[in-house]
Structure 1
């Protein structure tokens, strides 16, 4: 593989090459114009306050975020996906990029700056129940083994 075909990492100093649209999957009901900011509870680890806001350029990746957040909350509320606009620089999400998916094929990012909610994405396809349960089981296993570490 020649170097010109390697993915260019997104860093706080160099993220302008990353094109949207961008999406945020969550269980929260939000309205256009709201800004998502760091410092709120994590959808994925009870009692954890996130230092970043996470987003993606792929609807499928946002669907995982929305579905997992809703399932882990256990309150029967649906997951939601929002079109968002980063209001500052961002970087590749090291929780997936470096550890699980080199080159960032999930197009997952994080920022310490606000994301502005542009609109809710009304039509998106969730994963089949077996795939979702498989992901939940895997997360439970990681948690039980103490390997559910989030680099935040």
Structure 2
């Protein structure tokens, strides 16, 4: 299902998605929602990673007040390296992050991942605020 690009061989999984949304096994995650990092942008892709702690970070930084969840997901269509954290900004795909315009299906939930401390969460929020204040910082949508 993976679409290869010229720079990196894609993972075969398992894949994870972090969020504060309470979802069920069998649900599908789709594109078309606001970015957690730039809420004025509606995302054209659904994002996921092969690193459970990366999904945990995404859950910690997700908008909303719900509990953090890391779901095990399966892509239902082609996917590509996430250009926001890969070749256009960093060589290769060190975060093992991907995106797809096709839905991903929730097939499980992970409860054991490295959670951020309150201090780490604040540091990440400050980094994101600085990025959002930078007129040159862009999300590749």
2:3 is aligned with 1:12: yes
Whether the aligned pair in 1 keeps the contact of 2:10 and 2:80 (CA below 8 Å) is no
**Unmatched 5+ stretches in structure 2:** none
**Which residue matches 2:77?**
88
Given the alignment, which residue of 110, 130, 145 partners 2:119?
130
Cα distance between partner residues in 1 of 2:90 and 2:98: 13
Partners of 2:4 and 2:10 within 8 A in 1? no
Match of 1:65, SS? Answer: helix
SS in 1 for 2:85: coil
SS at match of 1:23: strand
On the 8 A contact 1:24/1:82 being kept in 2, the answer is yes
- C-alpha deviation, 1:36, in angstroms: 0.9
2:49 is matched with which residue? Answer: 56
Which consecutive residues of structure 1, in runs of 5 or more, have no partner in the other structure? 1-10
Counterpart of 1:4 in structure 2 is none
- Distance in 2 (CA, whole Å) between partners of 1:38 and 1:147 is 24
SS, match of residue 46 in structure 1: coil
Is the CA contact (8 Å cut-off) linking 2:14 and 2:50 kept in structure 1?
yes
DSSP 3-state at the match of 1:66 = helix
- CA distance in 2 between counterparts of 1:66 and 1:112 reads 20
Report the aligned-residue RMSD.
2.0
Q: TM-score, normalized by length of structure 1?
A: 0.81
Structure 2 length normalisation: TM-score? 0.87
